[in-house]
Amino acid sequence: MEIEEHVIPGKYRECGIEVSTYIGPDSHEVKQLVDDFCTWMNGDTFKSISGDRLIDAIIKAVIAHVYMAWIHPFGDGNGRTSRILEFRFLMESGVPSPAAHLLSNYYNKTRAEYYRRLEEASKNGGNLLPFLEYAVEGFVDELREQLKFVKLQQFGVAWQNYVHEKLGDKKNASAQRQLRLILALPANNFLSKNEILELSPEIARLYASKTTKTLSRDINKLKKLNLIKIENGKVSPKTETILSFLPRGKKDVTFFETDTAIED
């Protein structure tokens, strides 16, 4: 990667900075600004804002991000520095690593809005509340998406285990074919027999040398085992069956908000 002429690795910038309409502080002020920033971040200011360690850490992380972006101390890499500071403060508060990077993800997803909010904060006299609201709303949204993904993966594992249990450990060709078939069917989607045969190259290969009666027999077998449901001649996996095995209050419909097949 070619480094631009004004960028000196490991050194503060020695030139002015302008990002869009934002003009950063003079280069001669950078060292003092960074020193003051570090003293502020390492002090007691953010230790008892709300009385909740996590909330205080989120406020500290977001504010640190904004101030580092404002100071813009380096010729390049200021955005990455801001994000890694944010990540560090969240990790220090006990936020798990998979969640601590979610703010950075959100900024990348909403890049135009991120820059608009950052610019707005620099022009409104330093009022960071709008940026904080934007960041926290995004953090919550990203957490919800992450939890939904985790729940879906857990549900997928539970469904696979249930299917294996119902079909047993039979190694014969028909049982193995039925296993591949049920695990290939996409949740919340009813397919005709022709659509099933086009699900994947593997399914097409499994039934290529078979008659249509073989697919019908396999479907009937899976229906008898209560693994599928049939409506108007179309087939769908009966994934909701395993909800009965979950503790009361844990039956979450978000498990089924997908059109993706649960893969083995």
Residues 57 and 103 in one domain: yes
Phi, then psi, of 19 in degrees rounded to 5: -120, 110
Number of domains composing the chain: 2
Place of tokens 């709303």: 137
Confidence (pTM): 0.69
Percent of the chain at pLDDT > 70 equals 89
**CA pair distance 80, 134, nearest whole angstrom:** 19
- pLDDT exceeds cutoff 90 at 129: yes
Residues 194 and 106 in one domain: no
- pLDDT exceeds cutoff 90 at 254: no
Residues 214 and 121 in one domain: no
Residues 123 and 22 in one domain: yes
- pLDDT exceeds cutoff 60 at 48: yes
- 48 vs 11, residue with greater confidence: 11
Residues 84 and 176 in one domain: no
3-state secondary structure of 142: helix
Q: Which domain holds residue 245?
A: 148-256
Contact of 242 with 233, CB cutoff 8 Å: no
Residues 173 and 248 in one domain: yes
Whether 206 is in a domain gets the answer yes
Contact of 88 with 63, CB cutoff 8 Å: no
pLDDT in tens, 137-170: 999 999 999 999 988 888 888 899 999 998 887 7
pLDDT at 154: 86
Tokens describing residue 113:
């809005």
- pLDDT exceeds cutoff 70 at 78: yes
Percent of the chain at pLDDT > 90 equals 56
- pLDDT exceeds cutoff 60 at 255: no
Question: CA-based angle 237:243:245, to the nearest 5?
Answer: 120
CATH number of domain containing 176: 1.10.10
> Which of 68, 92, 127 represents a domain boundary (last residue)?
127
Whether 189 is in a domain gets the answer yes
pLDDT in tens, 233-252: 999 999 988 877 665 545 55
Closest CA to 14 of 59, 22, 24: 24
pLDDT in tens, 1-19: 556 666 767 788 888 877 7
- Longest Cα separation, the chain: 82
Residues 114 and 73 in one domain: yes
Whether 91 is in a domain gets the answer yes
Whether 264 is in a domain gets the answer no
CATH number of domain containing 30: 1.10.3290.10
Residues 64 and 155 in one domain: no
**CA pair distance 69, 72, nearest whole angstrom:** 5
Residues 96 and 153 in one domain: no
**Three-state secondary structure of 121-135:** HHHCCCCCHHHHHHH
> Which of 93, 127, 161 represents a domain boundary (last residue)?
127
pLDDT at 6: 66
Residues 6+ apart with CB under 8 A from 93: 53, 54, 56, 57, 58
- 59 vs 50, residue with greater confidence: 59
Residues 122 and 153 in one domain: no
Residues 194 and 155 in one domain: yes
Average pLDDT, the chain: 86
H or E segment to which residue 208 belongs: helix 201-208
